[in-house]
Structure 1
Amino acid sequence: MRKSVKRAVVIGTTLAVAGVAGAAWASWVAGGDGTASAQAGTASELTTNVVTTDATLFPGVTGDSTISINNPNPYPVKVTSIVWNPSDGVQATPVAGKTCGNTGVYFGDFSQNNIGTNGVLSGLDLEIAKGDSAQFTLPKTVHMINNSEDGCQGATFSIKVHVSGVSNAS
C-alpha cells in the first residue's frame, strides 16, 4: 500500500474512532434547567351549629354541652380549640309564656372551679374524618351563676362559638 493511502486510512480510522467516542460520550451527558410546580388546595372552614347545653342547669350548677362540627375538607381534621366570645352572650329559648333575658349561663372549662376559662377550651383533641360531621359532648363546659332570671327555668340555651383545628392527615 502506498504511504499516502496508509496515511489516509490511519487518519480516517482515527477520526471515525474519535467521532464514535464523542458520540458515545455525548449520549451519556445530558443537562437542562426547568421548574417543577404543584398547587396547594385551599382549606375550607369548619362549620358548626351552636353549642347546646346537655344538662339540666340550676343556679350554681355546672353541666355538659354538646356540639356538632362539620369538616368539608378532603382530609381529616383535629379540632384543638373552641372559643366563646362572652360579648356574644347566650341565647335562650324559654318555655311558653316566660322570658329569659339574663341567662346567667357561661361557657368555658369549669372542671377545676366555677370561674372557668373565660370562654376558651384549648388543648382539645377532637377528630373529624374528611368530609364528615361529628358530635361531641364537652364535659363541665357550661355554668349557670346565681343571678339567672326566674323566667330561665326550663329554657334551652344555645351558645355561639368559633372552632379551630389542624390537618390530621398522616
Structure 2
Amino acid sequence: MVNFLQLKGARPAAAAAAAAALLLGGGAAVSAYWGTAGSGSGSQTAGQLQVLTTEALTQPASGQQPIAPGGVADAAVRVTNPNPYAVQLYSVASAGPATADAAHPQCVTTGITFQNPAAPLAPTATVPANASLTVVLPGAVAMDLTSDPGCQGASFRIPLTLEVRK
C-alpha cells in the first residue's frame, strides 16, 4: 500500500502524477533536470613572446674544413631564449644575402647560400627557458663557384629567420 502525503497548497493532480511515476517506474531511480540560460563576458590578456636572439658560430665544426667554392658546410646557430618557458625551434630560413666580414672588402660576390631545412626541424630542438642552445644544421651552407677571390679566409654573416613554437 502506498501512502501519499499531500502538502498544503499542492495540486492533487500533480501529486497523483508524481505517485504514478514512482509506481510505474518501480521507485528505483529518480532523476532531475535543471536548466538555465544566461550571458556574460570575460577577458584575458595574452602573454607576449620575447624575441629570441641568434648567433652564427664562425668556427668550423670539429673535423670540418672551412667552406670553399663548390663546397657545403654545416650551419651552427646558437639560439638564446629569454622567455620563462621552453620553445621548440620549428624552422630556420634564409632572411637575405650573405655578407663577408669587414676585413674582406674585396668579397662582394660571396657565392654563399643557405639551404633552408624542411620544417618542422627533425630532430626537434627545444630551447630551454632562459637558456641558450646550439643547433647544428648539417649541409645547410653552400658556396658556389661565383665567389670572388677576395672571399678567401672571410667569415660570413647569414641573416636567418627562426620560427619557434611554445
The answer to whether structure 1 residue 58 and structure 2 residue 68 are counterparts is yes
The answer to whether structure 1 residue 91 and structure 2 residue 99 are counterparts is yes
Q: 2:55 aligns with which of 45, 49, 57?
A: 49
Residue in 2 that maps onto 1:165:
164
Given that residues 56 and 75 in structure 2 are in contact (C-alpha distance below 8 angstroms), is that contact kept between their aligned partners in structure 1?
Answer: no
Given that residues 84 and 162 in structure 1 are in contact (C-alpha distance below 8 angstroms), is that contact kept between their aligned partners in structure 2?
Answer: yes
Residue in 1 that maps onto 2:113:
106
Closer, same or farther in 2 for the Cα pair 1:77/1:153, shift >3 Å?
A: same
Given that residues 112 and 143 in structure 2 are in contact (C-alpha distance below 8 angstroms), is that contact kept between their aligned partners in structure 1?
Answer: yes
Taking structure 2 as the reference length, the TM-score comes to: 0.64
Could you tell me the percent identity over the aligned residues? 30
Distance, in Å, in 2 between the alignment partners of 1:158 and 1:56 is: 14
What letter matches 1:43 in structure 2? L
Deviation by residue 1:103-132 (Cα, 9 ceiling, x = unmatched) = 101101xxxxxxxxxx45522121101111
Closer, same or farther in 2 for the Cα pair 1:35/1:71, shift >3 Å?
A: same
Q: 2:119 aligns with which of 116, 122, 132?
A: 122
Deviation by residue 1:62-91 (Cα, 9 ceiling, x = unmatched) = 111111111121110000101103xx2101
1:49 deviates by 2.8
CA RMSD of aligned residues (A): 2.8
Residue in 2 that maps onto 1:149:
148
What residue ranges of structure 2 are gaps of 5+ in the alignment?
Answer: 1-7, 9-35
Given that residues 53 and 142 in structure 1 are in contact (C-alpha distance below 8 angstroms), is that contact kept between their aligned partners in structure 2?
Answer: no
What letter matches 1:137 in structure 2? V
Residue in 1 that maps onto 2:84:
74
Closer, same or farther in 2 for the Cα pair 1:45/1:163, shift >3 Å?
A: same
Distance, in Å, in 1 between the alignment partners of 2:102 and 2:140 is: 21
1:53 deviates by 6.7
Taking structure 1 as the reference length, the TM-score comes to: 0.63
Residue in 2 that maps onto 1:10:
none
Aligned residues: 127
1:41 deviates by 1.7
Given that residues 117 and 140 in structure 2 are in contact (C-alpha distance below 8 angstroms), is that contact kept between their aligned partners in structure 1?
Answer: no
